Structure 1
């Protein structure tokens, strides 16, 4: 077997004489898998009910003859103009009632029955025609669900939302109680009065907004399941996936999606693009995306379906990748569980919105840094075939709950700077800098296998999840909880005193009042560290005080506490302080880095069930590094000599 290598292949953008060149270059680069058809709906169905597959037949047959497998996509992320023109009622509607028009991708209401019917017809045609084609290695459903159309506020959506709420609450009394509609005289007396959180005079009901986000995620998931189940029926035994955006799209509850992407003939896959304006280092962004996707896959191998060879086109600042970064980024995902590396896209587009997005075959052609590194990466992946099927195992988990983060996004919070997803990724980056590989987990998951669990931002928590975290600590686990956590239930209702309601007894603390900080302000702690954004007037009732506020609005009060193995941070420690604390707590809990390495070097380990292990080493620095290890470097075939050149990667078969 071999690790997958390739990318999105869009031959419909090019005259047919270019296709032969593509196949020759794919052989040169070592490409063995391409995604085909992702945005080709208008090409395959130029008019309603008229399907033209002759060109797709030739493409798939040509790829097969060249030894390239196909991930065949349903093109349902981009309805053609004829569909949108004929069905304006399927166009999405904004909160303010403005109906969008077509001319982009994902321009449809996720609750639209006419859209789903058209998507299912297209999916059925593809599955019936290609269900047994020997080139088809997997089916790729849709593309980046909810990337552009996460929410719709039209009347069709409103009716679907009411149906979802009826199933959840059973009665209007149940809905009114959950939403707290007694406030502002919002009580509903008829289901027809209930609507999505459309634009209104001031802030919407927080639980209404929260439930609408839950509902919208479910609607997109239902669309995926409808296509997936039809394909499984018509093309049994062929792997099915859809490409998530685990580190950049927080509009979908990916835990629910992960459950639908695990099991026989299913595969979790992810798209990842570096964010130029993200304060985290690029390798830390890679690590979070990979660790999160692995966690969504339940620890099983997964696939990097898209990333970029160099710059993207859609950010305010689209930065080109440095020499050899393409290789480091790609193998960074492989180190953390991906069974290969694919890109968007194979050949750079000459027209359209993404014409300045980098590709495997760039506008500069094959006499370029990008192409040379594309070929080098293909050779590297071919040498790593024995890594396939091995797993990356972590001793630490970072808790992430979508409903909690969505609830915290509501208007009228004490500080708009308390952003849950940003804090979760910041804590993960602190662990990454300490050399610690971490899973991402739900608060209600089985946590017993972890030495350390951290909850950076868990504003809302259910009783069952809180009990699960308590049981974890009582069972010998170490828990670190960040500020502004445990305060509300799953309906965004404030828990009874003492605060933090769900965790007060576990942590041995009592929060009296919040004291957010102004932008840019910091507070000093008496251990020499500092905090920012947030402080709390807190009492240690049964907890040991590890650090106190040396100044600021709650000077003298506890800032960091510990009750047994349960830690609480009542401020957002600065990056250096957070990193030092988590590294220290991890060491006390017995969670060690994968391997001792110097600064600027990253180490990650994959392991087979039979004990065979592989140590991935990445030198992100500008100087040669020395790493004391033993084994054979699979990329060179030579015994490890301890030298890791600047910007380079080594993969050691240990033992």
Structure 2
């Protein structure tokens, strides 16, 4: 499909057929060229076991094609139908306390259930056979927002699946005992059949078991996706396949998931009431672009208010456009919304839509028309890339280990906060940023920042040591190996030669207290008693038990930050200057992004700003955005 994609989720099954003609007519008027259909349609498409009703979907697909609108056709498997749940109650998910979760919401399934998996593949295959030659079919949409509601299941079937997964990972029970350190607290196993999921227990659960459970739970859902993808690929080998991610999500290893997709898509819902949301959502967009190092697609966003926060604040005039252009600025090749027509009933009846309850004589509809027209003018943006000089390293196993409940020196270290502490000041300087896994080739970047790498393998350490550029590594890194066992000699483990320091003892900072540094800045939540082992001190702790001890060190081009500074800018200023990158600040609230040949300027602030660009000064009103074609006046 040429140009940028524009549209959203369409749920015609919620409306009488006489409404459908009006819908597609208004879609054409608004410039919609893609809609997502059948996401939650399993109970309508298969009303009884093996009995299919495709008639209504046939009519919708035909109607869309007649009006030049393509279909992102879902497999409908996000929610099993009531008949399947009642005939096979064992597919219902079970929480860590043993409670069986009842039907009546969505995603009510056990990811490991053979019955559920077989049923999803059968439905996906039937849909693929039915629509494989349909001219409206543009892409496949498998399930919906994996791990939104069902992240894990603790039932007996999941336990059996977990044991098979562990056998594949460790081969022998001796291998598992060694990896899990089961001699601690008398947990030694003599057979895999004795292993259960980490259900609720009298005290802290083995952290190695928890880490493997997180790996397994991500893999179990990925197996569901890949089972459906296999049948779609067999029937329609040339139709691209995706599933919608959920921004920077703790539960799923998106580096691994992205390898299984043809292209990355994301659902993003920044809170218009949160002044920090523009920077947090920008981080997630840059992750989406980085996952496959290519353009992605914003598959869901809100035209105005959502329906699931405690207070659902609408978007002020112009903010729908601003948020849409922000997604394009960070690499999306379109802007899709939830949903097309605002629902009359159900949990999302107050969620905004491109076509609101009030119809076409509304502010929302006028903004929908304006956005559709503007996206046509921006067609040259589609397919273009972003070249970033800075990368942030994000590793899911490290994240899972770092934030495991209990057993840690502090429960205050949160990886997303640590990422944002470096990402936000980089964006304030107008620098484009990629995210990268710890084992990726990083040679194309001038600066690499590792906010945290709690779990560090020899392979990770070798990749960072071989980088050779300007490197910043944050605290509590290189602590454990892939099995959650502390490296010999303590942190930073295999990073010691690269960083030139030894961490003798972590020194968490109590809530409400700050630790002074001798450069006049402060640290919060975390500090460390470190000893120099070749590195030079740049900043020292000032006052308290760590008074005079190194806080920030330098070894070659590698900087180690043993604390959480309340402002990382002084460290960044030095490293960026040495790397030859700009350090000047953009006006407050302004964001700058580049895609080949295009410069995006976005003002998330509440007052007008002036921005200097290669094309001259640009005036930006509050909640305004401008796209410049570079090289043109």
TM-score, length-normalised on structure 2? 0.96
**Structure 1 residues 304-319: aligned runs within 5 Å:** 304-319=298-313
**Structure 1 residues 173-322: aligned runs within 5 Å:** 173-247=174-248, 249-261=249-261, 266-275=262-271, 281-297=276-292, 299-322=293-316
Question: 2:450 matched to which residue of 1?
Answer: 455
Question: 2:627 matched to which residue of 1?
Answer: 651
CA gap 1:100/1:642 in 2 versus in 1, 3 angstroms: closer
SS of 1:604 mapped into structure 2: strand
Q: In structure 1, what is the Cα distance between the partners aligned to 2:617 and 2:362?
A: 31
**Structure 1 residues 1-400: aligned runs within 5 Å:** 1-247=2-248, 249-261=249-261, 266-275=262-271, 281-297=276-292, 299-400=293-394
CA gap 1:615/1:397 in 2 versus in 1, 3 angstroms: same
**Equivalent pair of 1:452/1:591 in contact (CA under 8 Å):** no
SS of 1:628 mapped into structure 2: strand
**Structure 1 residues 492-507: aligned runs within 5 Å:** 492-507=484-499
SS of 1:502 mapped into structure 2: helix
SS of 2:220 mapped into structure 1: helix
SS of 1:559 mapped into structure 2: strand
Deviation at 1:641, TM superposition (A): 7.0
Q: In structure 2, what is the Cα distance between the partners aligned to 1:504 and 1:311?
A: 49
Q: In structure 1, what is the Cα distance between the partners aligned to 2:425 and 2:585?
A: 17
**Equivalent pair of 1:139/1:239 in contact (CA under 8 Å):** yes
**Equivalent pair of 2:73/2:139 in contact (CA under 8 Å):** yes
Q: Work out whether 1:601 is the aligned partner of 2:590.
A: yes
Q: In structure 1, what is the Cα distance between the partners aligned to 2:26 and 2:460?
A: 52
Q: In structure 2, what is the Cα distance between the partners aligned to 1:582 and 1:555?
A: 23
Q: In structure 2, what is the Cα distance between the partners aligned to 1:48 and 1:310?
A: 39
Deviation at 1:158, TM superposition (A): 0.8
SS of 2:203 mapped into structure 1: coil
**Equivalent pair of 2:283/2:423 in contact (CA under 8 Å):** yes
The structure 2 residue matched to 1:412, chosen from 380, 398, 407, is: 407
After superposition, what is the alpha-carbon deviation per residue over 1:595-634, rounded to whole angstroms, capped at 9, x for unaligned? 9853332111111xxxxx1111112233333333356xxx
Q: In structure 2, what is the Cα distance between the partners aligned to 1:172 and 1:556?
A: 48
Q: Work out whether 1:466 is the aligned partner of 2:461.
A: yes
Deviation at 1:586, TM superposition (A): 2.2
SS of 1:448 mapped into structure 2: coil
SS of 1:555 mapped into structure 2: coil
Deviation at 1:28, TM superposition (A): 2.1
Deviation at 1:432, TM superposition (A): 1.7
Which shows bigger deviation, 201-210 or 614-623?
Answer: 614-623
SS of 2:84 mapped into structure 1: helix
The structure 2 residue matched to 1:579, chosen from 565, 569, 585, is: 569
**Structure 1 residues 537-576: aligned runs within 5 Å:** 537-574=529-566
Q: In structure 2, what is the Cα distance between the partners aligned to 1:8 and 1:380?
A: 20
Question: 2:610 matched to which residue of 1?
Answer: 626
Q: Which runs of 5+ in 2 are unaligned?
A: none
**Equivalent pair of 1:276/1:317 in contact (CA under 8 Å):** no
Which shows bigger deviation, 597-606 or 40-49?
Answer: 597-606
Q: In structure 2, what is the Cα distance between the partners aligned to 1:48 and 1:72?
A: 21
SS of 1:362 mapped into structure 2: coil
After superposition, what is the alpha-carbon deviation per residue over 1:207-260, rounded to whole angstroms, capped at 9, x for unaligned? 11111111111111111111111111111211111111132x211111111111
SS of 1:458 mapped into structure 2: coil
Q: In structure 2, what is the Cα distance between the partners aligned to 1:502 and 1:253?
A: 23
Q: In structure 2, what is the Cα distance between the partners aligned to 1:564 and 1:96?
A: 51
CA gap 1:469/1:630 in 2 versus in 1, 3 angstroms: closer
CA gap 1:454/1:527 in 2 versus in 1, 3 angstroms: same
**Equivalent pair of 1:515/1:553 in contact (CA under 8 Å):** no
Deviation at 1:59, TM superposition (A): 0.8
Q: In structure 2, what is the Cα distance between the partners aligned to 1:277 and 1:170?
A: 51
Deviation at 1:81, TM superposition (A): 1.0
**Equivalent pair of 2:427/2:592 in contact (CA under 8 Å):** no
Which shows bigger deviation, 318-327 or 28-37?
Answer: 318-327
Q: Work out whether 1:485 is the aligned partner of 2:477.
A: yes
After superposition, what is the alpha-carbon deviation per residue over 1:162-193, rounded to whole angstroms, capped at 9, x for unaligned? 11111111100000000000001100001110
Question: 1:634 matched to which residue of 2?
Answer: none
Which shows bigger deviation, 420-429 or 44-53?
Answer: 420-429
Deviation at 1:48, TM superposition (A): 1.4
Q: Which runs of 5+ in 1 are unaligned?
A: 608-612, 632-639
RMSD: 1.7
After superposition, what is the alpha-carbon deviation per residue over 1:519-550, rounded to whole angstroms, capped at 9, x for unaligned? 12111111111110011112223222111111
SS of 2:494 mapped into structure 1: coil
CA gap 1:275/1:404 in 2 versus in 1, 3 angstroms: farther
SS of 1:225 mapped into structure 2: helix
Number of matched pairs: 629
Which shows bigger deviation, 399-408 or 350-359?
Answer: 350-359
Q: In structure 2, what is the Cα distance between the partners aligned to 1:312 and 1:427?
A: 29
Which shows bigger deviation, 598-607 or 452-461?
Answer: 598-607
TM-score, length-normalised on structure 1? 0.93
**Equivalent pair of 2:421/2:568 in contact (CA under 8 Å):** no
The structure 1 residue matched to 2:505, chosen from 496, 509, 513, is: 513
